[in-house]
A = this chain, B = another copy of it.
């Protein structure tokens, strides 16, 4: 298997790369080579197969990023929600022109590769009261979501034409993200758990009964890897999959944290932020996700397991990264 990860320097991209390096396999087949592509060249990765780290602009993707013989492209490169809202041109360039570049580089290959694309819960609206079916219309209330929904259309069409073989995975908000807060409007959903678990105070921009549709990094990685393996013939024209995430209130998430690490909840202070609440508040808080389990996507665990996953896998590295 020859694999490329676009956005390979990002947090999910890195986790996928590390999983491939550890197992040496994807879908039961040996990994022969890996390209990690990002804005800046991703850090080297030790593996039993050659790993090529490339830096560049996704909208002007160099041929070496997806070389002849590539079997799977994980396309995770994106300008996230608040950043795409703040800079329309940048969002359009990365989130839409980047898609065209992926289509063009794939159609130049002799054999169409599987493209696992990360779409998003933000491509929907409906907000707190929504419980959306798999075939719900995407009526996004932010530029990031509009660009993701448009990208799904373009990749589905490119699949129909045989240029590539796309699976559009509509990821929930990922929590708990390691590292530091980022520019996503949903950044607080990780921060409100990660910062207290690091012993740091943090603020909560929404009410405790605010509900979010989430998934842990380990579930997101498992779903992304599974998307590289599924039989796309069974998908028909609909290349988009809503994986079975978790619908949870912010209060329940804080309770789970307090249960695992007593005393942490006291580090969270309310600080309402209407801008953040507006963006994240437009995203649906729940999905039926009825299709994914039948396609073999694993169901999500509970909130305590989500907190414990972060402590076991990411707390130490986050501490080191941030010199804590």
Q: Which of B138, B156, B160 contacts A153 (CB 8 A)?
A: B138
* Known contacts A100-B92, A146-B157, A150-B153; is-contact A137 B137 (Cβ 8 Å): yes
Q: Which of B100, B140, B163, B237 contacts A157 (CB 8 A)?
A: B140
A157 CB contacts on chain B under 8 angstroms: 140, 142-143, 146-147
- Against B, the Cβ 8 Å flags (1 = close, 0 = not) of A134-161 are 0111111111001101100110110011
Task: Indicate if the CB atoms of B154 and A150 lie closer than 8 Å.
Answer: yes
A137 CB contacts on chain B under 8 angstroms: 135-138
Task: Indicate if the CB atoms of B140 and A153 lie closer than 8 Å.
Answer: yes
Scoring A146, A154, A156 by chain B CB atoms within 10 A of each residue's CB, the highest score goes to A146
A141 CB contacts on chain B under 8 angstroms: 160, 237
Inter-chain CA distance A146–B142, complex, in Å, is 20
- Against B, the Cβ 8 Å flags (1 = close, 0 = not) of A197-236 are 0000000000000000000000000000000000000000
Please tell me if A125 contacts chain B, counting CB pairs below 8 Å.
yes
A161 CB contacts on chain B under 8 angstroms: 88, 143
Please tell me if A238 contacts chain B, counting CB pairs below 8 Å.
yes
27 A-B contacts (beta carbon < 8 Å): A88-B161, A88-B163, A92-B100, A96-B154, A125-B237, A135-B137, A136-B137, A137-B137, A137-B138, A138-B153, A139-B156, A139-B237, A139-B238, A140-B153, A140-B157, A141-B160, A142-B157, A146-B153, A146-B154, A146-B156, A146-B157, A147-B157, A149-B153, A150-B150, A150-B153, A150-B154, A153-B153
Interface residues of A (CB under 8 A from B): 88, 92, 96, 100, 125, 135-143, 146-147, 149-150, 153-154, 156-157, 160-161, 163, 237-238
- In addition to A143-B157, A150-B150, A150-B153, 8 A-B residue pairs with Cβ atoms within 8 Å of each other are A92-B100, A96-B154, A135-B139, A137-B138, A139-B238, A146-B153, A146-B156, A149-B153
